[in-house]
Amino acid sequence: MTDPTDTLVIAGRELGSRLILGTGGATGHTVLRDAVTASGTDLVTVAMRRLDPETPGSILDVLADCGVSVLPNTAGCFTARQAVRTAHLAAEACDTRWIKLEVVGDEDTLLPDAVELLAATTDLVRDGFVVLAYTSDDPVLAMRLADAGAAAVMPLAAPIGSGLGIRNPHNLALIREKVSVPVICDAGIGTASDAAVAMELGLDAVLLATAVTRAADPPLMAAAMRDAVRAGRAAYRAGRIPRRRYAEASTPFTGLAAL
Amino acid sequence: MRVELNGVPTDVDTETVAGLVGGLTSAERGVAVAVNGEVVPRSQWHRALCTGDRVEVLTASQGG
């Protein structure tokens, strides 16, 4: 079970899980509800899109039923101006000042636009938002975002939805060393072992969507991610053994028979 | 009056943002509005619309 003394705290708020779940790609509200429940998460992302009067039910009602908090995002924004406006609209719609800030610079890779991201972070912090900034795995940019007041930095493991896993574990570990705010691995997770590795690197949490929502069995993968994040965190705290080039016998040679 | 509602030219028979939203959804929460690119807080939804206004009515949806 999760150690109650090892709680994730973002902007002074304790979260009951180190797994944050995205909802993009879910095939329906029923499977989403089952996946959210199985994941054990406390915090779930939503996007802001044009209201379609024909769409039945609200995702906010589903998430309220699950007892989780909503983290709106600025997915689809390419400029700081778009992202800041979207954040203010999200605050209106979702009644929260927390925002997962995404400002991307390229349609094919959906990689963050560092210049626009930093500008939007600065503006939204000034406007009183709790900014969780989706960023690249650049330690210097992460430092700049933290300096600008981001409540958490969220470096990608790999491009959004790619499922490629952690492409640059060294940089993620550097980011964890270089900033004092929580570091959340966001995007690129493909399967449970990826999430465990992120946690073993010392990152504070994992945010993933596609790996669960587009799995063949989303609730089962959500449960796998829950366990992977817990196991990875426990392994990090336990302190792994150093890597060695040669064997080190775990059984002593003393008392070995002369045969 | 004709406005551009979520990107589509639309004839509306209401004078206010609140009337426009009420015609789209009965939801009391989860909805936000921008007019001509500026966010209109719920407390200002009584404001009058003008012909040609670009109105975006957004809601939370799957994503992220």
pLDDT at A1: 52
**A256 domain residue, yes or no:** no
**B38 domain residue, yes or no:** yes
Q: ipTM exceeding 0.90?
A: yes
**B10 domain residue, yes or no:** yes
Query: What's A129's domain CATH number?
Result: 3.20.20.70
pLDDT band of residue B4 (cuts 50, 70, 90) is: very high
With contacts defined as CB-CB under 8 Å, which chain A residues touch B30? 58, 60, 93-94
Residue A229 and residue A222: Cα distance in Å, rounded?
Answer: 11
Best mutation target, A32, A77, A89, to test chain B (most B CBs within 10 A) = A89
Beta strands B8-11 and B31-35 are: unpaired
Domains identified in chain B, total number: 1
Instruction: Kindly identify which residue of chain B lies nearest to residue A49, measuring between CA atoms.
Output: B58
pLDDT at A55: 80
Would the CB atoms of B60 and A73 count as touching at under 8 Å?
no
Query: For chain A (length 259 residues), average pLDDT per consecutive 10?
Result: 82 96 89 96 95 84 94 96 96 96 96 98 98 98 98 97 96 97 97 98 97 96 98 97 91 88
**B64 domain residue, yes or no:** no
pLDDT at A66: 94
pLDDT at A47: 95
Domains identified in chain A, total number: 1
What does the pLDDT look like over B46-56, one tens digit per residue? 989 999 999 99
pLDDT at A58: 86
pLDDT at A86: 96
B63: pLDDT strictly greater than 70: yes
Residue A100 annotated as catalytic: yes
- Give the distance from CA A36 to its chain's centroid: 14
Instruction: Tell me what the mean pLDDT of segment B3-15 comes to.
Output: 91
Contact A39, A192 (CB under 8 A): no
Instruction: Kindly identify which residue of chain A lies nearest to residue B34, measuring between CA atoms.
Output: A89
Would the CB atoms of A53 and B24 count as touching at under 8 Å?
yes
**Alpha helix segments (H runs only) across chain A:** 29-39, 59-66, 80-94, 114-126, 139-147, 169-178, 192-200, 210-213, 218-238
**A254 domain residue, yes or no:** no
Count CA within 13 A, CB hemisphere, residue A60. 16
Contact B60, A93 (CB under 8 A): yes
pLDDT at A220: 98
Nearest to A45 by CA among A20, A69, A71: A71
pLDDT at A2: 60
Contact B26, B56 (CB under 8 A): no
**A2 domain residue, yes or no:** no
pLDDT at A75: 95
Contact partners, residue A148, CB within 8 Å, separation at least 6: A118, A121, A122, A125
